[in-house]
Amino acid sequence: MINLNINQKNYELDVDPDMPLLWVLRDVLGLVGTKYGCGVAQCGACTVHLNGDAVRSCVTKASRAVGKKVVTIEGLSENGDHPLQKAWLEVDVPQCGYCQTGQIMSAAVLLRENKNPTDEDIERSMEGNLCRCGTYLRIHKAIQLAAEMQRNG
């Protein structure tokens, strides 16, 4: 049995402590907004927040999350209205959409720590998130827009 706090809810789960958080979220809890893309921390589709840090849940053992707060895309905002989510819709970023929740979760950490990110800051923070459809331009623009929305409250 391990105890996990996910999106401000406590769960007591009978899972292998070595099971990556990704599969706990997807297969055990049905929180499928966190995506499987590579399993080796190369694509960023599985990005979640662990105590506020962006981590790749595909290589993060469930045991590592014990006693910490996990936030997934489902818990990023109450009504899907995080500035990034709003900006993503405004810029109409997605094509296939598969990588986008991971992109948003990576960007959310950047924006929390850096209210006014430069192009280079965005590039550095987003380098680990792949998009085969090639929406990087719009992702970049949406992050800038969200930062602006955040600054203007």
Partner 1 sequence: MKSSFLAGGGLMISFSWLPELALANDTIAPEGWAELTGYIKISPDNTIKIINPNPEFGQNLMTSLPMIVAEELDVDWKNVIVEMGPHDNVKLGPQFTGGSNSVRMYWKPLRDAGAAARQMLMQAAAETWNVPLEEVTTKEGMVIHEKSGKSGKYGDFATKASGLPIPKGVKLKDVKNFKIVRHSKKNVEGSKIVTGKPLFGLDYTHEGMLIAMIHHPPGFGMKFTSFDASEALKMPGIKDVFSIKLYEDGYEQAGFDTRSFNDLLVVVGKTTWDVMNARKKLVVKWEPAGDTKDYAGGRNGKREVIVPGELETTSTQLEKMQEYAKKPAQQLRKDGDPEAAFKNAAQIIERTYNAPFLAHNCMEPINFFAHVTSEKALMVGPQQGPGWSEPSLSKLLNLPADKIEIQMTRMGGGFGRRAYGHSHFEAALISKKVNAPIKLVYTREDDMTYGIYRPMYTATYRAALDANKNLIGFHVKGGGIPEHAIHANRFPAGAVDNYLAEGWSIPSNITIGAFRAPRSNFNAAAEQSFLDELAEIMGKDPIEFRLELLKRAKEKPVGKNNEYDADRYAGVLNLIKEKSGWGKPENKKYHRGVAAYFCHNSYAAHVVDMVVKNGKPYVERVISAMDCGIVVNPDAAANMVQGAVIDGIGNAFYGKLSHKDGVPEQNNFNRYRMIRHSEAPKKVEVYFVENDIDPTGLGEPPFPPVFGAVANALYKSTNKRHYNQPFLGEPLQLNNTNKKTF
Q: How far apart are CA 124 and CA 50, in angstroms?
A: 19
C-alpha distances in Å from residue 80, one per residue of 7, 35, 73, 97: 13, 17, 9, 15
Q: If we measure between CA atoms, which residue out of 8, 1, 13, 4 comes closest to residue 60?
A: 4
20 φ/ψ angles, rounded to the nearest 5 degrees:
-60, 145
The residue written with tokens 């999106």 in the block is 7
92 φ/ψ angles, rounded to the nearest 5 degrees:
55, 60
Rule CB under 8 A: choose which of 70, 72, 83, 110 binds partner 1.
72
Rule CB under 8 A: choose which of 3, 52, 66, 119 binds partner 1.
119
Site stretch for partner 1 (CB under 8 A), options 2-10, 63-71, 94-102, 108-116: 94-102
Site for partner 1 contains 8 (CB under 8 A): no
Rule CB under 8 A: choose which of 1, 8, 10, 40 binds partner 1.
40
Nearer to partner 1, 109 or 130 (CB): 130
- Residues contributing to the site for partner 1 (CB under 8 A): 16, 19-20, 23, 26-28, 30-40, 42-43, 45, 72-74, 80, 84-85, 88-89, 92, 94-101, 104, 119, 122-124, 126-127, 129-140
